[in-house]
Structure 1
Amino acid sequence: MATTSHRALQLLSLLGTGRTWPLRDLAAKLEVSERTARRDLDTLRELGYPVATVRGPHGGYRLGTGHTLPPLLFDHEQALAIAIALQTAPRSVYGLQDGTARALVTVQQAMPATLRAAMESLRLTRLRNYWEFPGPPIDPAALTTVGTAVRLHHILTAEVLRPDGTRIAPDKADFAAPHRLEPHHLVVWTGRWYLIAYDLNDQCWRVDRVDRLHPRPTGRAFTPRELPGGDLAHFVMTSPDRGDTPAADWPCTGSARLNLPAQVVAHWAPGGSVVEHLDPHHSRLTLGAWSWAGVAGILATFDTDLTDLHPPALTQACQQIAHRYTTLQPTPPPT
């Protein structure tokens, strides 16, 4: 009975996507025979769910209108948490991408319009990254403000904060007037949230970390512009003024120049590290770890020449690892 109940819930989740499912596809998803899948469909009908049969060569089964599901009671912060968690779930787990997409659709369908709008505000572009280290904390209110402005094409005014997240007083030497920004895209890369915007003050494109901004909405609309080059990933990775620092306070933090382009290094770099574009064939990677050997070990995974290492302790760790490996003796084959 538990297996049947589990299949019924899974079947309801599949039908809740709104598409029409051929019987063979449902059976394959549930990993049962077509006869069992048809019996599970009848079970849903007995429970009061309007499972409709669609005739024809492209027919199958879908969930009809008028069904009632238990209400989902989420406050604003819970809705944001769901949107962020589902959209930034690690892609390195096999099969998770399809499940998170279906879950996001299911949750959105059950939400009131106001919360659905909040979730839509955070529909973002996520650049692929294979290491999942936590990024810096971010204010949900700032994220909501920026996401809504991107979705509605509304101008923002934003102060640039210090690296520790504090605002700069007007009487301080490093104070700068708030920028008027046309926000175009939200991007998640290496564990950080970035805003791609056109700066109306300086008449140029810029990339800012959202956790380094204090944004305020204006309600004034703008006409979207074409991003130079049209490539979000390349634009973020090659923008030198993103305000990046290593995300965590590691015991050891070092950097090296790699004979690889920034887009290749960023594809494999640990989340929270800093990738600098130097030229089309070289980049600088700054990262942290629990030991200098750990930093050296991550750099070695790029399988390329390293130069200009900092600090000297990192160079020593690389040399010690190299010496350790050169003294290894092959294991004799078993007799």
Structure 2
Amino acid sequence: MTQDMPARMLRLLSLLQTRREWPGAELAERLGVTGRTVRRDIDRLRELGYPVEGTTGRAGGYRLAAGADLPPLLLDDEEAVAIAVALRTAASGVTGIEETAVRALAKLEQVLPARLRRRVAALQAATVALAWGDGPRVDPGTLALLAAACRDHEVVAFGHRSAPDAEATARKAEPCALVAAGNRWYLVAYDLGKEDWRTFRVDRLTDPVPTGRRVPPREPPGGDPGAYVSASIADAPARYRLRATVPRSADAVRARTGALPGRLHALDAESTAVDIADDDPARIAARLLGLGSATDLSGTPELAPHLERLGRRLLHAARSLAPDGAGTGARDEGDR
């Protein structure tokens, strides 16, 4: 298809694929042609099977709609390789995505040029995807619906549970972005009922429905959805909290532990205060041990007996493993 299509039409198709709607005048300006030429090229794309719709309004415009048959996608070499590798490793935390990804990959590889198949094969041979943990799963249809709403700035109605066993509350929100953090997905959106920004866990969303109402885009606090989610997680309520000082820079602590930026507070160039919060004392203990040497500990008093019991279990395990009871007075090797 691309061999018979003028370069200008390829550029036009690429533009239509990147945005929901384009005014005709803006397309003409981007392409450096007249509005008449744009209309002629649009007609040619329709003849090739691309469902380009005209939009109404003062200036009028165009959008690429979903068709009964899927016409060829316009991908450059790097995009094709990136998609193939992403399909090979699949997205974590998405229900049923592995099987769907395999089917899509098989179709994509059938149409890849030989030079790209060799690149993809090399990357696949050197890449291993390791499933880790059994965290919450989300529905791929829900992700697709929310992603489209973020793209189109369309208000979405849904139910949301603040906890796994909580009742779902009805929400209406202006979606901004989806953020993947570990094996969890979060929706950053402006909650119309609360009149404020919120972070919603996607696995706790129920029955999302686009309302058809489009709104001007909003920018989340700080302008970075990822940073906003990180700060929201860091500030989320938890049953237990602990703060410790570590004799390392904030960058070194983050590299070692993967701690959220919102839970690291640089005291000076060589020491950092770290906040740990969780409902499970065992996870707090694991994170505390991961810090290595830590001083100036403070936090929830009720956490102390849980840490003491966990400490006794570790000591019992150490004595069971050590020959003749030796090694129970081992020095602290947290800085190694």
Same fold flag (TM > 0.5): no
TM-score, normalization by structure 1? 0.45
Specify which structure has the bigger relative contact order, considering alpha-carbon pairs within 8 angstroms and separated by 6 or more residues.
Answer: 1
More helix per residue = 2
